[in-house]
Amino acid sequence: DIKGFVFDLDGVITDTSVFHSQAWHQVADKVGAPWSKELEDGLKGISRMDSLEMILKAGNVSDKYTDDEKVDLATEKNTNYLKLVDQMTPDNILPGIKEFLDDLKSNGYLISLASASKNAPKVLSKLQLADYFPEIVDPKSLSKGKPDPEIYLKGAELINLNPEQCIGVEDAAAGVESINAANETSIGIGDPQVLSAADVKFNDTSEMTLANIKNQMD
Ligand code: B16
Ligand code: MG
């Protein structure tokens, strides 16, 4: 029986995936890497330094930058990203998410957060959702990022559940892969072609309700 939900943040709870893309697009332009939907989708759920490496590889310029210069590029991206985050309010919560979280709480489901983002606590506080997430996986504690199962296994562990008792919710292909490898049930929100590996699929957060999930799981 399902007893808990492990959530991704960017692209699931809030529209920050657009902000991440915007800030990475600037970096891509700066280093002369071609920007594409494939690259944009591929960056979702991937840690900051790994994302930068993907962009540099896409432009064939990875060896043109020293490690220090790479850290500078990533820091610049994060500064630009945080400027966008600073303007966030609860209006940036994606449709239906607040209602869904309330529904989970009143039905006794446990909740944790499995975001690759070091900015997750800040984003949750901007959204005034911190109280819903007493348990947050610390991305600094991970030896491997998504698509490795580690982050979703830790998300289950934090709420004292077995992976089989958890549903993971994602907008990224790398994240769905991580949930599946952790042996949790996966929900993929967004382009069903990108998220074909998800057990349960929704085009939009507003479609995610306990009843709709149950329908697809039966
Ligand atoms: P930061 P998620 C991920 O968050 C984002 O999807 C990804 O685009 C970002 O690079 C990563 O967090 C790291 O974020 O630079 O803020 O530490 O989707 O796992 O919630
Ligand atoms: Mg995401």
Q: What is the pLDDT of residues 176-204, one digit of tens each?
A: 999 999 999 999 999 999 999 999 999 99
Active-site residue numbers?
8, 10
> Whose CA is closest to atom 7 on ligand 1?
45
pLDDT category at 39 given cuts 50, 70, 90 is: very high
Residue 141 pLDDT exceeds 90: yes
> Edge to edge, what strands does the sheet with 185-189 contain?
110-113, 4-7, 166-170, 185-189, 200-202
Say how far apart CA 22 and CA 158 lie, in whole Å: 32
pLDDT category at 218 given cuts 50, 70, 90 is: confident
Q: Where are the alpha helices (DSSP H) in the chain?
A: 16-31, 37-43, 48-58, 67-86, 97-106, 120-126, 150-158, 173-181, 210-217
37 is written with which tokens? Answer: 């939907």
Ligand 1 contacts CB of residue 46 (under 6 A): yes
Say how far apart CA 155 and CA 96 lie, in whole Å: 22
Residue 151 pLDDT exceeds 90: yes
Ligand 1 contacts CB of residue 186 (under 6 A): no
The pLDDT assigned to 20 comes to 96
> Which element (helix H / strand E) includes 187?
strand 185-189
The pLDDT assigned to 21 comes to 96
| Proportion of the chain above pLDDT 70, given as a percent | 100
Closest atom of ligand 1 relative to the 119 alpha carbon: 16
Closest Cα to residue 191, out of 5, 25, 44? Answer: 44
Tell me the pTM.
0.94
Mean pLDDT of the chain: 97
Ligand 1 contacts CB of residue 185 (under 6 A): no
| Proportion of the chain above pLDDT 90, given as a percent | 100
Average pLDDT on 18-44 reads: 97
pLDDT category at 174 given cuts 50, 70, 90 is: very high
Say how far apart CA 187 and CA 208 lie, in whole Å: 9
100 is written with which tokens? Answer: 């869904």
Q: What is the pLDDT of residues 55-86, one digit of tens each?
A: 999 999 999 999 999 999 999 999 999 999 99
Cα of 66 from ligand 2 centre, angstroms: 29
134 prior amide bond cis, ω within 30: no
Q: What is the pLDDT of residues 76-127, one digit of tens each?
A: 999 999 999 999 999 999 999 999 999 999 999 999 999 999 999 999 999 9
Q: Dihedral sign, CA of 106, 110, 114, 117?
A: positive
Tell me what ipTM this predicted complex has: 0.91
Closest Cα to residue 186, out of 49, 57, 177? Answer: 177
